[in-house]
Chains A and B, each alone.
Chain A
């Protein structure tokens, strides 16, 4: 059950020019969570920034809560540069759905940018409970500096890297790299998990996803309530009777990518 907690930052680490690892002491009573769930932080006790900021859970151990924070604006900047010992109000765990486990099947994880966080959490969770077969990560960022390779080295049997500028690994985005791997017979068949910009997930669903049993994705949107009340973060989902709007925060964050009405979704 979601609740409000006070989290204390015990460690931060700059991973790249814009990305930071922020580790909170696991708040007392913070429940177990599933990959794809998130927390919403009240960054300051003032009214700037006003709304809570949502962040995926990258790891939850008995004592620690890990977040991966990319600085894109004021809220993420304050969070990433908070001193050790700083306390923050955490609402969570939020999100009504989580990634279903691959049930010992092989899995390919595709991450764009900070979409890496829930991918890492999924791989770690399923490795811990031995429900994961061979796990490969396909991971793209703008340039080598922004690739957080050290974060994900241990969690996947294979890591395939892509950079837009070609400074490291495959030149292009994660989707193009995935397509290449499928074509070469190096990926496919098992489960496909993804998290990243909507454009990335949409492009995957158009082509590469056909080579997999199922494609599950964790979506993002600007959020206000984070609990499914305000209807601010909706996404059109196809059903028997047509398209219905579901909330990413309450009905998601995880959806079967084939059920999203991609034509109608404008972020």
Chain B
């Protein structure tokens, strides 16, 4: 059978296919050696890094819910220096395409992080995590304010000429499409949607919240309709590519994201239990091709 080429252009970058591992679950990539054929994947979005290393949140960090997973990792990461000197070269040597996820902490740290990113061999696409719900400062604050978000995106484009910049958005806002538009106007090459949905749970026996920080980020199939809706609305608002993420657990789910307007997709939580899902999606796309977008379907528009 003739296998279709799945090459996907985002900004200045051509990915070998539009199926990526999502930031966080993917770790620094190589942890999955033996379980995931990492060279086959369109790209690995590495764990969000901050300029300084971070220890993350104390106490319990994971909790399964109905069809979902709450996490309170708190952006634990090795920091820019170790990341760019050790993790990236190892990925590149292994033939794996890195998409580097950067934290938008306070302005000073963000600027230093971009400076550290500049000139790293093998990095031509970054994803700005403007949306982490698990940290005190930065992240969500930047990602929920269109002016701040635009400022951060613009600075990345100015500091890193030729770099393809994705802006990753949080669904924990009133109008995610407005934020996507602000990112596009500031020069973003693509939008990634969505990060986790804020949620909480209570340990009945202990009589207290499950997590120390009480609120945590929900991922997995429970959030897929929210993610699909976000992708659909964003792709009708902006002209830049949209990378869909949130709750994809099957080939069919992935197809729905492409139909809703995604140019590429990411798999996060599902990799934990089905590490070969990204490869299954790639195979299906090679066989059947990318499903066409829905177009301006009235039935869908009228919903709600």
B31 near A229 with CB under 8 A, answer yes
* A50 and B269 contact, Cβ closer than 8 Å, known pairs A222-B62, A227-B31: yes
Given contacts A2-B34, A91-B35, A228-B31, contact A42 B61 (CB under 8 A): no
Kindly state the separation between the CA atoms of A51 and B71 in the bound complex, as whole angstroms: 13
A4 within 8 A of B: yes
- 7 cross-chain pairs, A with B, having the tightest CB-CB distances, nearest first: A229-B27, A229-B31, A232-B62, A2-B34, A227-B31, A266-B59, A231-B76
28 A-B pairs with CB atoms under 8 Å apart are A1-B34, A2-B35, A3-B34, A42-B274, A47-B221, A47-B249, A48-B67, A50-B64, A50-B68, A50-B220, A50-B269, A51-B69, A51-B272, A91-B275, A222-B61, A222-B62, A224-B25, A224-B269, A224-B272, A225-B31, A226-B272, A229-B47, A230-B27, A230-B272, A232-B71, A234-B61, A250-B31, A266-B212
Best-surrounded residue of A1, A4, A230, A267 (most CB of chain B within 10 A) = A230
**Which partner residue on chain A sits nearest B55 by CB separation?**
A245
Question: Which A residues, 1 to 41, have Cβ-Cβ distances below 8 Å to chain B?
Answer: 1-4
The residue from B26, B27, B67, B275 contacting A4, defined by CB atoms under 8 A apart: B275
Interface string of A221-258 (1 = CB under 8 A from B): 01111111111111000000000010000100000000
B107 close to chain A: CB less than 8 A: no
Contact across chains for A51 and B273 when beta carbons are under 8 A apart: yes
Chain A residues near B249 (CB, 8 Å)? Answer: 47
Cα(A231)–Cα(B73), bound, Å = 7
In the assembled complex, the CB of B107 is this many whole angstroms from the nearest CB of chain A, namely 26
- Number of contacting residues on B, CB 8 A? 38
Distance between Cα atoms of A230 and B76 in the complex (Å): 9
* B110 sits at the interface (CB 8 A): no
How far does the alpha carbon of A229 sit from the alpha carbon of B32 in the complex, in Å? 8
A49 interfacial by beta-carbon distance below 8 Å:
yes
Separation of A227 and B271 alpha carbons in the complex (Å): 11
CA distance A264 to B55 in the complex (A): 13
- Nearest residue, chain B, Cβ from A229: B27
Question: How distant is the Cα of A250 from the Cα of B47 in the complex, in angstroms?
Answer: 16
Do A267 and B35 touch (CB < 8 A)? no
Choice from B24, B59, B60, B221 contacting A230 with Cβ under 8 Å = B24
Say whether A232 contacts B273, CB under 8 Å: no
Q: Smallest Cβ distance from A45 to chain B, in angstroms?
A: 9
Residues of the B chain whose Cβ atoms lie less than 8 Å from the Cβ of A223: 62
Q: Are A50 and B56 in contact (CB under 8 A)?
A: no
Q: How many residues of A are counted as interface, with CB atoms below 8 angstroms from the partner's CB atoms?
A: 30
B window 56-90: CB within 8 A of A: 56, 58-64, 66-69, 71, 73, 76
**A150 vs B248: C-alpha distance when bound (angstroms):** 45
Residues of B within 8 A of A (CB): 24-28, 31-35, 47, 55-56, 58-64, 66-69, 71, 73, 76, 212, 220-221, 249, 269, 271-276
CB neighbours of B66 from chain A (8 A): 48
CB neighbours of B73 from chain A (8 A): 230-232
Contact, CB under 8 Å: A234 / B76:
yes
Q: Is the interface of B mostly helix, strand, loop or mixed?
A: loop
Q: Are A228 and B27 in contact (CB under 8 A)?
A: yes
Assembly CA distance A23 to B224 (angstroms): 36
Residue of B nearest to A243 (CB): B55
Residue of A with least CB distance to B272: A224
Interface centre among A222, A225, A226 (most CB of B within 10 A): A225
Supposing A50-B67, A227-B32, A229-B25 touch, asked if A245 and B59 sit within 8 A by C-beta, the answer is: no
Chain B residues within an 8 Å CB radius of A66: none
Q: Does A215 contact B (CB under 8 A)?
A: no
Chain A stretch 75-96: residues in CB contact (< 8 A) with chain B:
91
Answer whether residue A124 sits at the interface, using C-beta atoms and an 8 A cutoff: no
Nearest opposing residue in chain B for A267, CB measure? B60
Query: Please, which residues of chain B bring their CB within 8 A of the CB of A47?
Result: 67, 220-221, 249
C-alpha gap A166/B33 in the complex (Å): 48
> How far is B276's CA from A232's CA once the two chains are assembled, in angstroms?
21
Q: Is the pair B62, A229 in contact by a Cβ cutoff of 8 Å?
A: no
A72 CA / B152 CA spacing, docked (Å): 47
Tell whether, in the assembled complex, residue A224 and residue B62 are in contact, meaning their CB atoms are under 8 Å apart: yes
Cα of A78 to Cα of B196 in the assembled complex, Å: 29
Complex: A233 Cα to B59 Cα, angstroms: 10
CB <8 Å contact, A231 and B68 = no
Known: A51-B272, A227-B35, A245-B76. 20 other contacts (CB 8 A): A3-B34, A4-B35, A4-B276, A48-B66, A49-B64, A50-B68, A50-B220, A50-B273, A91-B35, A224-B71, A225-B271, A229-B31, A230-B73, A231-B47, A232-B73, A245-B55, A245-B56, A266-B59, A266-B212, A267-B60
Which residues in window 42-66 of A have CB below 8 A to B?
42, 47-52
Known A50-B273, A51-B69, A51-B272; judge A231-B56 contact (CB<8 A): yes
Measured between beta carbons, the chain B residues less than 8 angstroms from A266 are: 58-60, 212
Give the CA-CA distance A49 to B271 in the complex, in Å: 14
Q: Distance in Å from the Cβ of A233 to the closest Cβ of chain B?
A: 7
Please determine whether B59 and A225 come into contact, CB atoms closer than 8 angstroms.
Answer: no
Q: For the complex, what is the distance from the CA of A222 to the CA of B61, rounded to whole Å?
A: 8
